[in-house]
Amino acid sequence: MWKRVRYKFDNSMARGVGAQIGLLGACTLVMVLITVVLLIAFGVVPQDDQGHKDSVFMLAWKSLMHAMDAGTLGGDPVRFETTVHGPVIGYATVNGTKVAISRQRSSYGKDSLDLLYNRRLSNGQVHSPKSFMKAAALTPQTFNSFYMDSKHTALYTAGLDPKRAKGTDPSLPTVGTGQYEWRGFLPPSKHIQGVDPQNTPVHGTMVNWNNISAHGFGAADDAWGGNGSAARVDMLNRELKLLKTNGGWSLATVASAMNAAATEDVRAIDTVPLLKKLLKGTQAPNAQAAQMLQVLIDWRHNGGNRLDLNNDGEIDDPGAAVMDTAWPKIANRFMKPQLGPQLDELSSLFSRFDQPPGGQYSGWYQYFDRDIRRLLHMKQPQPFEKRYCGAGNLQKCQTAMWDAIANAGKKLTRQQGTSDPTAWRSSAEAERIHFVPGLLKTTMAYTNRPSGIQQVISFRGHRAAT
């Protein structure tokens, strides 16, 4: 019985916003009627100024109005300011006139349409890459979805991608007076999609860790690093390449690649090789700085992980300690020629690094990757227009990087009580994952996938024809 009720409920929710509003309205009316009945039954019917008791209709009306009243906060009525473009998030002054700033989201008011996609996944309407993409195109949410069976793999990036008016810049506010409105949305056929891909970082695979899935697609207006040339998915791609045998993987090796990537530091995997190449053949300012660079190189060679295998509360490899202290200084020195005093302002929008126990999703390592590659004349699809490290001068950049490393060495010597870089350690306790207070007192060692669902699936045969 309950399964049948739940099935009907799911079907009604899958009909869209109208069905959900109708259900909420019906539930509100039912609650109002129950309230009226209880008030009458217990003889607590309110009276007006003349001592007359409210009628049943008036009781229902007052109860409905009370249910719809947002109430007060600190004695002030709760107000939700909005515009035709979306909720108001702030105000500014333009030529002496106060203007509202609102956030426009293409899926605003359409969130529940996501259920249409889930419905097709649940009731057997998805049985091939073609039917999968048709279903995934129904959701307005920006999401990377994947399909697989024993014959095919497929990817589709869903969402309502707006076509912008000419003369607008997605990184700047847009005048909301009408002439710069969106010109519709990208059709499903133009979205990121693919079946059985071959030209991928790991041949024949689709590997994604919340990153943009294809070239030519920008990040959202409020995202400063969603489509960088370096990303944490590089760690997973690297492990898959290392573990590939006889042209493929087993269930165990796929899980191993996932587990290994979850313990690594993306700066060890992506930044250290570039730093090594940048500083090759140059003179370190002192022996300690030279040793620090070698510690970083050895860390990368050994896997670049942040593990505490002996459970002493410290990350085993000294490379983590060197990077944790040196990176903020490296980041500042290579970005300063362009940003000057605005380094912290950029960090407030896009942090220097999403330090563990964070997910390492964001960080200026993405800027470092593209800027240093250009400086070293390494081939890349789209170099930065601006020059950052050393303002484009290789020697000045190298000097700045060595200075940053040397200054980090001085700081670590004071903090760690030794000048030997191989003896330095970062705290593993500081990045342990804590659960919601009051639910679990247990903590767990850092892993870059503490939530969500990870599955490793294989198929012995194809779906029977329907």
Q: What is the CATH number of the domain that holds 330?
A: 1.10.1400.10
The answer to whether the beta carbons of residues 304 and 265 sit under 8 Å apart is yes
Could you give the CA distance from residue 400 to residue 396 in angstroms, rounded to a whole number?
A: 6
Tell me, yes or no, whether 240 lies in a domain.
no
* Of 451 and 286, the one with more pLDDT: 286
Tell me, yes or no, whether 312 lies in a domain.
yes
Tell me, yes or no, whether 416 lies in a domain.
yes
Final residue belonging to a domain, choices 69, 96, 128:
69
Contacts 24+ apart (CB under 8 A), 52-55: none
H helices of 340-423, in order, are 343-349, 365-375, 394-416
- Domain extent, residue 265, equals 259-444
Checking if the pLDDT of 224 tops 60, the result is yes
Tell me, yes or no, whether 121 lies in a domain.
no
Tell me, yes or no, whether 130 lies in a domain.
no
Which of 19-33, 156-170, 273-287 is modeled with the greatest confidence?
273-287
142-197 pLDDT tens trace: 889 999 888 889 999 999 999 999 999 888 889 999 999 999 999 999 999 999 98
Tokens describing residue 332: 């500042």
The pLDDT assigned to 15 comes to 61
pLDDT band for 431, please (50, 70, 90 cuts): very high
Question: Number of structural domains, the chain?
Answer: 2
Could you give the CA distance from residue 343 to residue 435 in angstroms, rounded to a whole number?
A: 32
Final residue belonging to a domain, choices 51, 69, 87:
69
* 102: three-class secondary structure by DSSP: strand
Final residue belonging to a domain, choices 69, 85, 100:
69
Residues composing the chain: 466
The pLDDT assigned to 157 comes to 93
* Percentage above 90 pLDDT, the chain: 58
- Among the listed ranges 218-232, 242-256, 303-317, 337-351, which one has the minimum average pLDDT value? 218-232
The pLDDT assigned to 288 comes to 98
Checking if the pLDDT of 49 tops 60, the result is no
CA-nearest of 5, 361, 315, 104 to 211 is 361
Tell me, yes or no, whether 79 lies in a domain.
no
Could you give the CA distance from residue 246 to residue 249 in angstroms, rounded to a whole number?
A: 8
Q: What is the DSSP letter of 205?
A: -
The pLDDT assigned to 3 comes to 62
Q: What is Dmax (Cα atoms) for the chain?
A: 95
Residue 252: which region, alpha, beta or left (left: phi > 0; alpha: psi -120 to 50)? alpha
Beta strand spans in 27-179 (E) = 72-73, 76-77, 88-94, 97-102, 143-148, 153-158
Which of 103-107, 217-221, 258-262, 455-459 is modeled with the greatest confidence?
258-262
Q: Hey, what's the torsion of the CAs at 66, 71, 75, 78, to 10 degrees?
A: -140
Tell me, yes or no, whether 167 lies in a domain.
no
Alpha carbon 427 to chain centroid, angstroms = 25
Work out the average pLDDT over 114-126: 89
The pLDDT assigned to 10 comes to 64
Work out the average pLDDT over 217-241: 84
Work out the average pLDDT over 53-71: 66
Q: What is the DSSP letter of 293?
A: H
Tell me, yes or no, whether 150 lies in a domain.
no
H or E stretch at 147: strand 143-148
pLDDT band for 215, please (50, 70, 90 cuts): confident
Paired residues of 154 in beta bridges: 147, 195
